[in-house]
Amino acid sequence: MARLPIIVAPDPRLKVKAKPVDKVDAEIRQLMDDMMETMHAANGIGLAAPQVGVLKRVLVMDIAHEDEEPNPIRMANPEIVWASDEEELREEGCLSLPDQFAEVVRPKSVRVRYLDHENEVREMECIGLQAVCVQHEMDHLEGTLFVDRISALKRNMILRKLTKSRRGKPVTV
Ligand code: NI
């Protein structure tokens, strides 16, 4: 397995719609494993392939706490087949927007159909944090960041802060 570099916003690769995979073969399985290792190393609970520069519809999640058994989930070509009318407001962060958080409204529970790491079609009912996580990661596959779901004022504030922190120290010559 290998850790992959995580892309930080603003970056055009985070704004692209990712392509479906034909099937989950050895190459996609390897990508899923590398993404899982990368996500765990970064203390994230979810990671989508575009965040490591791969524009494919692949995501990984693990919402287990440190003191719980790991619960790794690998998905390719995920689709929401049902969403609750009931919505919930939760604070979200993102490995591509380090140290930035904002409240986002989303359906409280969703049912997702996807291909697992063995290319089997599966469905999973997600609720609470899992529902937030899977919807957030699926947004990445559409080129949408959580800041695209908040007010322009808040979004610009966050993006300005990130651009500043990336600028680095001035060079004196
Ligand atoms: Ni994210």
Q: Please report, in tens digits, the pLDDT of each residue of the chain (173 residues total).
A: 799 999 999 899 999 999 999 999 999 999 999 999 999 999 999 999 999 999 999 999 999 987 888 899 999 999 999 999 999 999 999 999 999 999 999 999 999 999 999 999 999 999 999 999 999 999 999 999 999 999 999 999 998 888 877 666 666 66
Catalytic residue among 66, 103, 118, 137: 137
144 alpha carbon – ligand 1 mean position (Å): 9
73 alpha carbon – ligand 1 mean position (Å): 16
Taking the C-alpha atoms of residue 134 and residue 120, their distance in angstroms, rounded to an integer, is 18
For ion ligand 1, residues whose CB falls within 5 Å: 94
In 3D, which of 126, 148, 115 has the Cα closest to residue 46? 126
Domain assignment present for 2: no
Q: Say if strands 58-61 and 46-48 run parallel, antiparallel, or are unpaired.
A: antiparallel
Structure tokens given for 118: 């063995």
Range of the structural domain that residue 40 is part of: 12-166
Write down the pLDDT at residue 133: 97
**Is 137 one of the catalytic residues?**
yes
Domain assignment present for 85: yes
Given a contact cutoff of 8 angstroms between Cβ atoms, the answer to whether 60 and 74 are in contact is yes
Number of separate domains in the chain = 1
Domain assignment present for 122: yes
Taking the C-alpha atoms of residue 143 and residue 14, their distance in angstroms, rounded to an integer, is 5
Domain assignment present for 157: yes
Q: What is the pTM of this model?
A: 0.92
How far separated are the first and last CA of the chain, in Å rounded?
Answer: 42
What dihedral angle (degrees, nearest 10) is formed by the CA atoms of 139, 142, 143, 145? Answer: -10
